[in-house]
Amino acid sequence: MGRGKRAIIRAAIVLLLMLPAASGSAAEAEPLDILSWGGAYERAQRRALFAPFTAATGIPVRVHRYNGSLARIRQAVTSGEVPWDVIDMQRSRGRTACAEGLLEPLSPDLLTPSPQGTPAVRDFIDGAFSPCAITHSVFATVVAYRRDAFPGQRPTEIGDLFDQQRFPGPRALQRDPAVNLEWALLSYGVPEQEIYRLLSTRRGLSLALRRLQRLDNLQWWEAGDTPVRLLAEKRVVMASGYNGRFFDAMVNRGLPIEILWDGQVQEHETWAIPRGAEQAESARKFIRFATATERQAALARLIPYGPSRRSATRQVTTHPDSGVDMRLHIPTHPLNAERAVTKDDSWYAHTHERISEYFNAALPHDAPAAGETPPATPEAPAAP
Partner 1 sequence: MLRFLGLVALGALIGCLAALAAMGFVGAVIWLNDLLLISPRGRMMFAHPEALAIATVVVPTLGGLVVGQLHRAIREGRPHTPADVIAAVQTRRGRLPARAGLLSALSGLVSLGSGASVGQYGPLVHMGASLGSLGANLLRLGRSDDNVAIAAGVAAAIAAAFHAPLAGIVFAHEVVLRHYALRAFAPVAAAAIAGHVVATHTLARGALFHVTDTAVPHPWEFAAFLLIGGVGALVAGAYMHAILAVGRWAARLPLAPPLRPALAGAALGLVALWVPDILGMGQETLRFATIQGAFGSLDLVIVLVLKLAATALCIGMGFGGGVFSPALVIGTLFGALCGSWVTQAGFAGDTFVFYAVCGMVAVTAPVIGAPLTTLLIVFELTGSYVLTTAALASVTLASPIAAQLFGRSLFDTQLARRGLDLSAGRSRALLQSARLKDLISQDCVTLGPGTSVDEAVATLSASGHGEAYRVNERHCYRGSVMLADLEVMRGRGQGRLDVSECRDTPRPVLDPEASIWEAMHHPQDVAGEAIVVADDRAGGVFRGVVYEASITRAYMQHSEALQREEHGTG
Kindly list the residues in this chain that would bind partner 1 in the complex (CB under 8 A).
188-191, 193-194, 196-201, 203-204, 207, 210, 346-347, 350-351, 354
**By C-beta, is 235 or 310 nearer to partner 1?**
310
Looking at beta carbons only, is 100 or 347 nearer to partner 1? 347
Is beta strand 341-342 parallel, antiparallel or unpaired with respect to 257-272?
A: parallel
CB of 145 to partner 1, least distance (A): 21
User: Helix (H, G, I), strand (E, B), or coil: what is residue 141?
Assistant: strand
Q: How far is the CB of 199 from partner 1 (least distance, A)?
A: 8
Work out how close the CB of 189 gets to partner 1 at its nearest, in angstroms, rounded to a whole number: 5
Identity of the residue, 199 or 330, whose beta carbon is nearer to partner 1 in the bound complex: 199
Long-range CB contacts (< 8 A, 24+ apart) of 371-378? 372/221, 372/222, 372/223, 372/226, 373/222, 373/223, 373/226, 375/175, 375/222, 376/222, 376/223, 376/224
Minimum CB distance to partner 1, residue 198 (Å): 6
Beta bridge mates, 87: 35, 272
- Quick one: 62 or 210, whose CB is closer to partner 1? 210
CA distance 233 to 240: 15
Question: Residue 17 or 99: which CB sits closer to partner 1?
Answer: 99
Question: Cβ of residue 351: shortest distance to partner 1, in angstroms?
Answer: 5
Distance CA 368, CA 85 (A): 40
Distance CA 11, CA 57 (A): 15
Residue 46 in contact with residue 72, Cβ under 8 Å?
A: no
* One-letter amino acid of 262: D
